[in-house]
Amino acid sequence: MREDERRRLSRDLHDGPAQSLAAALFSVDLAIAALDRSKSTARDDLLSARESVRDALDDLRAMMAGLRPRLLEEQGLVSALQSLASSPALWGPRIALAISSFASGDRLPADIEAALFRIAQEAVSNARRHSGANHVTLSLTRDAESITLEIVDDGHGFSPDQPRPGLGHGQGLSGIRERVVQLHGELMLCSGEGTGTQLSVTLPLPARDRGA
């Protein structure tokens, strides 16, 4: 595993399952204490603990899928994005997918497919965890020389001068930037308080894949 992937895994474990499980443990402690005092509040505390554990399990499943995206390897980028978009219970917000000039069976170089899929995962995950988004739109467009992935959410957004944790904060965005730079692509990010976030990534295609 590359060092940057190790850092990403460590960050995701800390921000996702670790925090959810810590909250669950706290809720269980409250429930135990409540049972000692009275049964009147124990049910609510245990229900809260169950939801926290469920969130942690969803995060772990998402991470396992991201660490070994077999669908991406076997069927390609479009099928992998379709699977991501059809799993709202796993990711949280409702996800719409729009694809232009790119068929389900079309394949790109493995590094481009992996980068775009990971960027989509990162953006959708952050929309769920940090932006309060209800809807996310993924758009994949291909022309003769490049491919563009755009992710738009309706969350609360952030100010570039005072970024919130997640996509607008150092590690989340820097990981995306690293992938884009490695593939000589372009990244555009637009966001503002109360306006949601729009992320656009354009990667050049190798000569052999142009005009396909």
Share of the chain above pLDDT 70, in %: 68
Evaluate if residue 170 carries a pLDDT over 80: no
Mean of the per-residue pLDDT values for the chain? 77
Kindly state the average pLDDT of the residues 143-165: 80
Strand partners, 99: 140
179-196 tens-digit pLDDT: 899 999 999 999 877 788
Quickly state the pLDDT bin for 112 (edges 50, 70, 90).
very high
- How confident is the model at residue 199, as a pLDDT? 93
- How confident is the model at residue 169, as a pLDDT? 46
**pTM metric for this prediction:** 0.67
Kindly state the average pLDDT of the residues 39-48: 69
- How confident is the model at residue 140, as a pLDDT? 95
Query: Poorest-confidence range of 64-73, 117-126, 128-137, 151-160?
Result: 64-73
Evaluate if residue 2 carries a pLDDT over 80: no
59-109 tens-digit pLDDT: 676 666 666 567 788 888 998 898 888 865 444 678 889 998 776 678 899
Alpha carbon distance 111, 116 (integer Å)? 9
Q: Which of 91, 94, 92, 66 is nearest to 1 (CA)?
A: 66
Q: Which CATH superfamily is domain 72-212 in?
A: Histidine kinase-like ATPase, C-terminal domain (3.30.565.10)
Residue with the bigger pLDDT between 210 and 188: it is 188
Structural domain boundaries of the chain?
1-68, 72-212
